[in-house]
Amino acid sequence: MTCAVKICGLMSADAVDASVEAGADMVGFVFFPPSPRSLSVADAAALTARVPDHVMRVALSVDADDTLLDAIAADAGVDMMQFHGHEPLERISEVRDRYGLPVMKAVAISGPEDVTRGHAYADVADRLMFDAKPPMDATRPGGNALSFDWQLIAGESWSKPWILAGGLTPQNVADAIAASGATAVDVSSGVEDAPGVKNPENIRGFITAAKGA
């Protein structure tokens, strides 16, 4: 099975086009102002309009209120909601029902207790993402170029599809897939020249490495 790839934090037409042309399965757009990759709903809509239907468009938010989620669902042109904050199980169920869109929940991993928490979210989300826990002084929960011990999830059986994230690059993604057993991977900072500035060559290199693993 070929590994699926999500390129997240896209902010430009060139980056979107490079991701699609290189074979990305999912593309992500950030709606979280503290992030250097954050977009307005209108700007995101202009980018999602460039994405063909066979590529899933994902909206990433962090503990967002209904006003923002209403706007994203109505006008951003996305196919899936990704929640990367401290959203409880009840909130995931609520938004999944409210918008009729599939939901991905990111779970920060640093120890076995976090893996247990991930299993709980599998009961309410359509897909899971496993990412590294951010530093204590971080202003955002992801996109920090940090990885976690992939052995923590290796060999685990999950009831829902899951994506590996955190500190992945074109150079290490094949090793990460082999160590974790991931069948889908996510990258943002690992293909950037600067926060929010994607490098098309790195995007192509990442996708080639992941799909060749």
209 neighbors 7 (Cβ within 8 angstroms): no
82 neighbors 59 (Cβ within 8 angstroms): yes
Which structure tokens are listed for 15?
Answer: 């980056």
Quote the CA–CA distance of 179 and 102 in Å, as a whole number.
28
Quote the CA–CA distance of 72 and 65 in Å, as a whole number.
11
Q: How many CB atoms lie within 10 A of CB 21?
A: 12
Quote the CA–CA distance of 159 and 154 in Å, as a whole number.
15
Tokens 């086009």 sit on residue: 17
For residue 108, which amino acid is it?
A: A
Catalytically active residues, by annotation: 8, 131
Quote the CA–CA distance of 61 and 92 in Å, as a whole number.
12
Written as one string, the DSSP assignment of 131-169 is EEPPPTT-SSSS-S-----GGGTTT---SS-EEE-SS--
